[in-house]
């Protein structure tokens, strides 16, 4: 029977096993799967000439926290002893921009950097989402060519495949096309932003209703409504060009077309579709944007795009593009967990300890995973050795260690 008073008692006090909302433990078999996935992904990034860097977990709210693409309410904040507000880094792009602007940009440009690190985002509402998760990604800084945008996406595809994923899709959009279309029809930045917000909130119903209420010609309304349907294959770019006038809008579409052609050259175009109403952030991206979706995971496993204004915030204006993938979502997409490496278990009794150590060292030198356990420390040998690949006993007086 449930005793309500007792329930009250328990809820008021944290129990030893409790963790803050969104914080997760990683147990051995998941750890192994994740390690292999990360190794494969990191190796691929290295083989494309990207160099890994690490930055601190804590940054100033005023600088990196402010420059980050992550919403302020999603930041974990704390105070240092001088009263400065610090944030646990919510993404890696802003810290890397800080390092690049202050140090590395004086080196070789363009700069190819990679990272694999935990990031932190406060979850206010409920569980089911991680507040700490690993992100793996690259930033290509100081290269404004379409080749850079294409390289980043081609590398993304390559990383996904090396991680063991095949069933995924990348949606491609372009912020400057949206900006130009809206500017041409609506005239002011304020009105454009209103409409862009509907796209950002994925509220197509609200978008349509809003347009119906605007003092626009029916042709212009039709242009804005048709824009919502611009997704799918390369053909939608031909439809898109009809909606904009002049060169600015078509320049953005040409960029999309060029990147798509480059991706064909990389032979990865089959993973890419277009989604022109895609707005993954209200102000962060300045050109090409993309999101990556994998079957079986309810949220995008990764995203990226061109962000030419970020480095400027750190005093060194430079164009940049990159992507970030969520390791936890990639694991979810993989479904199958790796088999753990088998562990060879050597149980010894005191009188044959030296023999056992020699055996263990020999096997370890051959690359085996060997566990050495004093049999006196084990209560139930059967349970203890249950998950071992092999068991060898060095027990008793005989000098012949027996395999079981």
Partner 1 sequence: MSMLTIAMPKGRIFEEAAALLQEAGYQLPPELDESRKLIIEVPEENMRFFLAKPMDVATYVEHGVADVGIAGKDVLLEEERDVYELLDLKISPCYLAVAGLPNTSLNEVAPKIATKYPNVASTYFRGKGEQVEIIKLNGSIELAPLIGLSDRIVDIVSTGQTLKENGLVEYETIVGITSRLIVNPVSYRMKNADIAKLVTRLTDIIAETAVQ
Residues 274-313 vs partner 1: string with x where CB under 8 A?
-x-----------------xxx-xxxx-------------
**For 344-376, b where at least 16 C-beta lie within 10 A, e where not — what string?**
bbbbbeeebeeebeebbeebeeeeeebebbebe
Cβ closer to partner 1: 274 or 307? Answer: 274
Cβ at position 326, least distance to partner 1 in Å: 13
Q: How far is CA 166 from the centre of its chain?
A: 17
Q: Are 290 and 323 in contact (CB under 8 A)?
A: yes
Q: How far is CA 330 from the centre of its chain?
A: 8
Cβ at position 119, least distance to partner 1 in Å: 18
Distance CA 108, CA 44 (A): 21
Cβ closer to partner 1: 100 or 165? Answer: 165
Q: Which of 158, 250, 273, 309 binds partner 1 (CB under 8 A)?
A: 273
Cβ at position 55, least distance to partner 1 in Å: 28
Cβ at position 168, least distance to partner 1 in Å: 8
Residues 57 to 116 in contact with partner 1, rule: CB under 8 A: none
DSSP structure string for 52-121: E----SEEEIIIIIHHSSS-GGG--EEE-TTS-EEEE-S-SHHHHHHHHHHTGGGSSSSEEEEEEEEEE-
Cβ at position 203, least distance to partner 1 in Å: 5
Residue with tokens 């430079």: 318
Distance CA 304, CA 92 (A): 12
**The token pair that represents 247 in the structure block:** 């060169």
Q: DSSP state, 342? A: P
Cβ closer to partner 1: 169 or 313? Answer: 169
Cβ closer to partner 1: 298 or 367? Answer: 298
Distance CA 311, CA 384 (A): 55
Cβ closer to partner 1: 120 or 293? Answer: 293
> Applying CB under 8 A, what is the total number of residues that bind partner 1?
22
Q: Which of 46, 47, 62, 204 binds partner 1 (CB under 8 A)?
A: 204
Length, in residues, of the chain: 404
Q: Which of 162, 169, 197, 363 binds partner 1 (CB under 8 A)?
A: 169
Binding of residue 205 to partner 1 (CB under 8 A): yes
Residues 124 to 163 in contact with partner 1, rule: CB under 8 A: 128
Q: Which of 19, 202, 353, 389 binds partner 1 (CB under 8 A)?
A: 202
* CA-to-CA separations, 230 to 79, 224, 264, 271, in angstroms, rounded: 46, 11, 21, 18
Cβ closer to partner 1: 243 or 333? Answer: 333
Q: Which of 47, 188, 203, 398 binds partner 1 (CB under 8 A)?
A: 203
Which residue, 308, 301, 307, is CA-closest to 324? 301
Residues 6+ apart with CB under 8 A from 19: 25
Cβ closer to partner 1: 31 or 204? Answer: 204
Name the segment binding partner 1 (CB under 8 A); options: 49-57, 199-207, 353-361, 368-376.
Answer: 199-207
Q: Are 392 and 398 in contact (CB under 8 A)?
A: no
Cβ closer to partner 1: 208 or 264? Answer: 208
Cβ closer to partner 1: 19 or 202? Answer: 202
**Phi and psi of 5, rounded to 5°?**
-65, -40
**The token pair that represents 219 in the structure block:** 């042709």
**The token pair that represents 395 in the structure block:** 């027990």
Name the segment binding partner 1 (CB under 8 A); options: 149-157, 166-174, 376-384, 388-396.
Answer: 166-174
Residues 229-258 vs partner 1: string with x where CB under 8 A?
--xx--------------------------
Cβ at position 132, least distance to partner 1 in Å: 19
Cβ closer to partner 1: 228 or 343? Answer: 228
Residues in the site for partner 1, rule: CB under 8 A?
A: 128, 167, 169, 171, 202-206, 208-209, 231-232, 273, 275, 293-295, 297-300
């Amino acid at each position: 029977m449930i005793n309500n008073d007792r329930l009250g008692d328990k809820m008021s006090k944290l129990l030893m096993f409790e963790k803050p909302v969104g914080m997760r433990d990683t147990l051995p078999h998941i750890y192994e799967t994740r390690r292999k996935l990360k190794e494969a992904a990191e190796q691929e990034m290295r083989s494309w000439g990207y160099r890994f860097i690490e930055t601190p977990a804590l940054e100033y709210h005023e600088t990196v926290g402010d420059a980050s693409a992550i919403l302020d309410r999603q930041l974990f904040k704390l105070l240092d002893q001088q009263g400065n507000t610090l944030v646990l880094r919510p993404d890696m792009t802003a810290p890397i921009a800080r390092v690049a602007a202050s140090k590395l940009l004086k080196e070789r440009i363009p700069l190819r950097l990679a990272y694999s690190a935990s990031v932190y985002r406060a979850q206010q509402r409920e569980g089911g989402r991680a507040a700490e998760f690993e992100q793996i990604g690259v930033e290509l800084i100081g290269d404004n060519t379409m080749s850079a945008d294409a390289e980043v996406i081609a590398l993304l595809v390559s990383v996904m495949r090396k991680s063991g994923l095949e069933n995924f899709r990348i949606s491609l959009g372009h912020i400057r096309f949206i900006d130009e279309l809206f500017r041409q029809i609506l005239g002011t930045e304020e009105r454009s932003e209103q409409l862009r917000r509907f796209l950002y909130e994925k509220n197509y119903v609200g978008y349509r209703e809003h347009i119906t209420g605007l003092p626009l010609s029916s042709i212009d309304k039709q242009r804005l409504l048709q824009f919502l349907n611009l997704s799918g294959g390369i053909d939608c770019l031909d439809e898109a060009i009809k909606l904009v006038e002049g060169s600015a809008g078509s320049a953005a579409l040409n960029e999309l077309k060029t990147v798509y052609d480059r991706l064909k050259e990389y032979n990865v175009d089959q993973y890419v579709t277009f989604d022109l109403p895609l707005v993954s952030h209200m102000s962060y991206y300045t050109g090409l944007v993309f999101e990556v979706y994998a079957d079986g995971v309810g949220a995008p496993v990764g995203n990226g795009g061109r962000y030419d204004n970020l480095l400027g915030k750190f005093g060194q204006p430079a164009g940049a593009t990159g992507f970030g993938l969520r390791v936890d979502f990639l694991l979810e997409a993989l479904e199958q967990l790796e088999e753990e490496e088998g562990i060879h278990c050597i149980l010894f009794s005191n009188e044959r300890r030296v023999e056992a150590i020699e055996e263990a060292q020999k096997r370890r030198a051959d690359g085996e995973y060997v566990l050495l356990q004093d049999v006196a420390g084990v209560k139930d040998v059967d349970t203890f050795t249950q998950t071992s690949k092999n068991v060898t006993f060095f027990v008793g007086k005989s000098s012949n260690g027996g395999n079981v």
